[in-house]
Homo-oligomer: A and B are copies of this chain.
């Protein structure tokens, strides 16, 4: 009797779990396709889904795929070799992973706390995203000039340099951080202006890797852009 009664409940539960999985996948799709308005934190009901995604194979598969696609493209590009063939990389969640920090803060469930995050940044212990390091080295060996364009502020320059070098990144042409006058700009505007300046300096922006659409859209858009996955937070 117990078994018979439990059976439909279990089925119902499984159906609800499956439905929630689909809804959270749908939310993640909306994030990655840039369909959502600015959002502050992940939907509460998707907290476990996002945690499983970020700490499981899903995130790794997505990272590997985007790096592989970028590598295929990078190898297909004919470079002029005049030192102006540029590939832009964002830093956080593109080259460096803040997953250890976000694991302590609900993977995006907690509202972003810039004080606490700054403390984490100043530790200089963010690990490399391995697939991005592979792409980075390939891009360099092909002869691209690497430009790092990050939303981090200028006062984190030293620790950012230290952290990047410690985990294997090297030989960049420029590391561009936010100056005080950039702090109030959206990332889209700040990064567009910096790309505009690169174009004025004669760079050809052939590739751009970033985990936020604000790394990729705006003016002076790259010939090809690569959107790394990030369902944890949104930067306008």
- Residues of A with Cβ closer than 8 Å to B? 19, 22-23, 25-30, 32-37, 57-58, 61-62, 65-66, 69-70, 72-73, 225-227, 229
Contacts and interface: CB of A to CB of B under 8 A. Distances in A.
A37 B229 contact: no
Contacts of A35: 65-66, 69-70, 226-227
B23 A61 contact: yes
A73 B33 CA distance: 16
How many chain copies does the complex carry?
Answer: 2
B25 A25 contact: yes
B65 A26 contact: yes
Dominant secondary structure at the A interface: helix
Contacts of A225: 34
B227 A34 contact: yes
A29 B69 contact: no
A32 B213 CA distance: 13
Nearest to A217: B221
A11 to B, nearest CB: 16
B57 A27 contact: no
B22 A58 contact: yes
A220 to B, nearest CB: 14
Contacts of A66: 30, 33, 35
B227 A57 contact: no
A36 to B, nearest CB: 6
Contacts of A28: 29
A29 B69 CA distance: 13
Nearest to A27: B65
B30 A69 contact: yes
Contacts of A27: 65
Contact of A19 (B23, B36, B57, B70): B57
